[in-house]
Amino acid sequence: MTNMAAYYLKKPFSLFRDIFTYPAAKISSMDYADYWTARGESSWTARYDVFSSLIEPGTSLLDIGCGDGFALKYLAEKKSVSGEGVDISEAAVRAATNRGVKARAADITAAGFEISGVYDYILISEVIEHIARPEDLLRKIHGHFRKGLIVSIPNSGHYIHRLRLLFGRFPVQWMLHPGEHLRFWTLRDFRRWSEWLGFRVAGIRTSTGVLLLSGICPALFADNLVFLLKDAGGVQDAS
């Protein structure tokens, strides 16, 4: 059985839980050292194949918020990507280095954080929802990629989240602690937001969601959204 088939077979059984229950926190506070220790080693996820489909073999890539380096390792093996990563967690960077991934520790939310090189692609996977001011980070990315910026986010417009709101419960997108996510986007929100920051949406892909329907109506049926952004130049008026 493939990873994707297993995901879709299990999904119907979790529907009631996803709408009506509250998960238990697995760590006592939102600290990224504790987060990566408690989370354990990463494994394959469907969005890695989406990333792979968006990039050409042999390209260079910077993974911002690389975690333990699983995505970079996967892309290096599948597409011969020349990659490097950056993450706030020293524990995650050590794990990435142990995988053979080039990575460094840095606080991407700090005012002094800068990207020094130019890459074919920059990848930000499931990261910007964790930081209070992702606008500052994305503004720094302009001029540092040649082919595309790939951004993966949870879809706050997914029908499960809409049903939770209907029954008086806030959407649950976190894994270990309810303080993980600070920002939320629907598909329409993200498109407008990225355009305001001077990017153009060149493509939208989905990795998980309701089988078949997530490709037809991703705004409603996709768990996760992957955007390929191009540099449009300049921040637009917010009105």
CA–CA dist 17, 21 (Å, integer):
5
Position 35 pLDDT exceeds 90: no
Per-residue pLDDT tens digits for 132-172: 999 999 999 999 999 999 999 999 999 999 999 999 999 88
Tell me: pLDDT of 235 over 90: no
Under DSSP, the state recorded for 85 is E
Q: What percent of the chain has pLDDT over 90?
A: 69
Contact 94, 67 (CB under 8 A): no
Residues 122/142, Cβ–Cβ less than 8 Å:
no
Instruction: Please tell me which residue, 41 or 168, carries the higher pLDDT value.
Output: 168
Amino acid 48: pLDDT: 94
More confident residue, 66 or 26: 66
Q: In the chain, which residue ranges form alpha helices assigned H by DSSP? A: 3-10, 15-20, 32-39, 46-54, 70-79, 90-98, 134-141, 159-166, 187-196, 213-216, 218-221
Q: What is the mean pLDDT of the chain?
A: 88
The answer, yes or no, to whether residue 96 has pLDDT greater than 60, is yes
What domains sit in the chain, N to C, each tagged with a CATH number?
42-231 (3.40.50.150)
Adjacency order of strands within the sheet including 82-87: 102-105, 82-87, 60-64, 119-125, 145-154, 224-231, 199-206
> What is the C-alpha to C-alpha distance for residues 128 and 148, in angstroms, rounded to an integer?
17
Q: Residues 210-234, buried b or exposed e (16+ Cβ, 10 A)?
A: beeebeeebbbbbbbbbbbbebbee
Round to whole Å and give the CA distance between 193 and 56.
Answer: 27
Range of 14-18, 41-45, 46-50 with top mean pLDDT: 46-50
Per-residue pLDDT tens over the stretch 101-140: 999 999 999 999 999 999 999 999 999 999 999 999 999 9
Q: What is the pLDDT of residues 164-209, one digit of tens each?
A: 999 999 988 877 777 789 999 999 999 999 999 999 999 999 988 8
| Confidence at residue 239, expressed as pLDDT on a 0 to 100 scale | 41
Other CB atoms closer than 10 Å to residue 79's CB: what's the count? 19
